[in-house]
Structure 1
Amino acid sequence: MKYPILEKGATIGITAPSSGVEAELHDLIKSACDRMEQKGYSIICGDTVWTQEKAKSAPAKIRAAEFTDMMQNEQIQAIIPPWGGELLIEILEYIDFEQMKNKWVLGYSDLSVLLMAITLKTGIATAHGTNIIDLRGEVTDETTAMWETVLSTKPGEEVRQYSSNKFQKNWQHDNPSPCVFHLTEETEWKTTTNKDVKIEGRLLGGCIDVIRHLIGTPYGDVADFRKKYTNGEPILWYLENCELTTADLRRSLVQMRLAGWFEGCSGIMFGRSPANQPVDNYTAEDIYEELSAELQVPIIYDIDCGHVPPQITFINGAFAEVEVENGKGMVLQRFI
């Protein structure tokens, strides 16, 4: 594995390989850039950040070219898109993965397609966590704020994160707060056995709505990644559901299993989800129990990951130890 490092005063590139920011929301990205500059970072914003039409920031080749330029730019140490979107998968065929520089790409939602493709194809670690727009607040909650510490961890070192105290149940865009999120609900990490759990393995994952579409493509070869980069270690998956019904979530997990993605799997973690509404009394908890029985691995759910913030920063490719005890979680990631 190759681990980038974020240094103090680094230059951060902001590009929109999925969705850009509509004109009426430009103040959000400007506020985020100002906040990052106050923290000592330099910012380079690409043209795609400021445009959005027909479910994308720009045509696929333009998005791919801007991302590639930032990856090649020696001045830029990290790339953090404004947010996710819908159609990132369109750009993969226009990206030269063999020329990738060793630098961080941080994001979630549709961005997890790019993160996973980079790690699987190149062995460069990528960061699943906050987007740049959610860093615009006067203060940042402890869980989200760990993105800096995690990305500053040096190869060979380790970093520890803990479950949040509270999470945000609903987005309240019409009620801005100093820390962006409204953290009101008690966080509880759960297991299918209702017992404490400890799992370890190489991390892979993201938003299941979109990473499932990598199955069967040159960008979703999990078996090749395991052969080249894991030293025979198991994969510890983290997944989050943005919009899938429970039936579609189940179909997607079965497809992943049939495609071999869960071979050599030590466990699966699922993020909190606003989409986990039952279909004909079929619940997300039912799915977790069925999957645990099929794979004979522990499953943890309602973790800090995805569209119900705050988020732990998970590093694709890092070796992790995850513990759940009395509803609280700990994630230790080793950059080895």
Structure 2
Amino acid sequence: MRYPFLGWTGQTIGVTAPSSGLPEALHPLLEEATLRLRDRQMAVEIGQTVWAQEKAQSASAETRADELNHMLRNPEIDAIIPPFGGERAIDVLPYLDFAQLPEKWILGYSDISTLLFAITVKSGIATAHGPSFLEMRSEEWDETTTAWRRVLATPTGGTVTQWTSTSYQTKWNHAERPARYMYHVDAETQWKALDQTRSEATGRLLGGCLETIRHLAGTPYGDVRKFWQTQIDEEPILWYFEASEASATDIHRSLMQMVLAGWFDQASGILFGRTAAGQTVEDYTLLDVYETLSEKTGVPIFYDLDIGHQPPQLTLVNGALATIRIQGKDSRLDMTFR
């Protein structure tokens, strides 16, 4: 594995939209996030794709890829953080030269994880699943969100720890801004183990948004066995997933497809982010899905973690060696960049 590095001072963040851009009504949010990063001594360079959105994409696949490639190769840009996710990041993958990608952090989630997953699996370059650019528009950052800076500033060989948040946001409300933070936290966080006797697991992190990365199975961008053999020295994989909208049965089908594709053959455990998705179908619940997956794979299952669309969320590094420990309010995730 190869790990990028983002120092603490004088850094420039590139903002490009490899999936969705912003309609005009959301432009003020981008401008606000830009000011917040500048307040924290970071420069920001915004690409043209960010300002537009049509037909569920910011621009054509070629245009999106060109701007992303430009920012990746520009030595004056130190990391790339898209504004948010979207629907069509998969279109960009054929236009990337994975053998020539520079070591530079890309941070994001939702549909951006399609890009992150493919880059790590194809190139062995670590990528970061965590807050999007628009989620940095708060005057103050909670401890969980703030961790993205510690994570991206961890050198190769170093270890970084993140802990469970205290509380989280169950739904978005852009019309009102809380006094200190941008999130409307309204529920208590509790990381959970499906089997209380199996509260710890270690492996190489890999995963993303279930509804988008599932489409990489069976493609050159989802060759997990090759990644396991050539990039992580056949060490076990600690999977993580978050779901945005899928029902319980849709999540079930996606996970069973991954089982059949062999994605979990080398798994040491599977982490799931809390979600408002996973709606019960007839009497088949999201918890039933986790229990079915446990029976199929035999590995420990952890759920309701700080991952995904109910922030705040951890910054998880694809390819990093990680250990998850479920221990109540002291639950933690340790990542080592080796």
Fold shared, TM-score > 0.5 on shorter chain: yes
* Alignment-mate amino acid for residue 135 of structure 1: M
Is the contact made by 1:28 and 1:133 (CA closer than 8 Å) also made in structure 2? yes
TM-score (norm 1): 0.98
Q: How does 1:50-199 map to 2 (within 5 A)?
A: 50-177=51-178, 178-195=180-197, 197-199=199-201
AA partner of residue 305 (structure 2)? I
Q: Is the 8 A contact 1:320 1:334 kept in 2?
A: yes
Deviates more, 1:169-178 or 1:286-295: 169-178
1:119-162 Cα shifts (integer Å, max 9, x gaps)? 00110000000001010011011101100000000000000000
Q: Give the whole-Å Cα distance in 1 for the aligned partners of 2:53 and 2:103.
A: 29
* Structure 1: 4+ residue segments shifted above 3 A: none
CA drift at 1:269: 0.5
Could you say which residue in structure 1 is the equivalent of 2:3? 3
In the alignment, the residues of structure 2 paired with residue 265 and residue 190 of structure 1 have an alpha-carbon distance, to the nearest angstrom, of: 19
- TM-superposed deviation, 1:328: 4.6
Query: Displacement, 1:326?
Result: 2.8
- The 3-state SS of whatever aligns with 1:244 is coil
Pick aligned residue for 1:267 from 266, 269, 275 = 269
Which sections of structure 2, spanning at least 5 residues, go unmatched?
Answer: none
Amino acid at match of 2:145: T
Letter in 2 for 1:179: Y
Instruction: Give the 3-state SS of the residue equivalent to 2:221 in structure 1.
Output: coil
Matched residue, 1:286: 288
Equivalent-residue separation in structure 1 for 2:329 and 2:12 (angstroms): 38
What SS is found at the alignment partner of 2:196? coil
* Range that drifts further, 300-309 or 34-43: 34-43
Q: Which moved more, 1:321-330 or 1:99-108?
A: 321-330
Partner Cα distance (2:279, 2:330) in 1: 24
Shift in Å, 1:260: 0.7
Q: Judge which range, 270-279 or 109-118, deviates more.
A: 270-279
The structural deviation recorded for 1:38 is: 1.1
Residue-by-residue CA offset, 1:238-279 (whole Å, 9 max, x unaligned): 001111111110000000010011011000000011112110
- The offset of 1:54, in angstroms, is 0.9
1:20 partnered with 2:15: no
What amino acid does structure 1 have at the position aligned with 2:255? L
Question: How far apart in 2 are the matches of 1:201 and 1:14?
Answer: 31
> Following TM superposition, by how much is the alpha carbon of 1:24 offset from its aligned partner in structure 2, in angstroms?
1.2
Amino acid in structure 2 at the alignment position of 1:166: S
TM-superposed deviation, 1:325? 1.2
DSSP-derived class of the 1:301 partner: strand
Contact 2:168 2:312 in 1 (8 A): yes
Structure 1 residue 196 displacement after superposition: 5.7
Over the matched positions of the two proteins, sequence identity in percent amounts to 49
CA distance in 2, matches of 1:276, 1:181: 22
CA distance in 2, matches of 1:309, 1:24: 22
Q: Tell me how far apart the structure 1 counterparts of residues 217 and 76 of structure 2 sit (CA, whole Å).
A: 34
CA contact (8 A) 2:109 2:208 kept: yes
Shift of 1:94: 1.0
Where does residue 219 of structure 2 map in the other structure?
217
Equivalent position amino acid for 1:20 in 2: G
Aligned length: 336
Conserved? CA contact 2:164–2:329, under 8 Å: no
Cα distance in 1 for partners of 2:329, 2:203 equals 21
List per-residue Cα deviations over 1:155-203 (Å, max 9, x = no partner): 0000000010101112111111231101121101111123460100000
> Deviations along 1:204-247, whole A, 9 cap, x unmatched?
00000000000111111111100111122100000011111111
**CA offsets per residue over residues 59-99 of structure 1, 9 Å max, x none?**
11000000000011111110000000001101111111122
What residue is the counterpart of 1:304 in the other structure?
Answer: 306
Please say which of residues 85-94 and 322-331 is displaced more in the overlay.
322-331
> Counterpart of 2:3 in structure 1: which amino acid?
Y
Residue in structure 2 matched with residue 208 of structure 1 by the alignment: 210
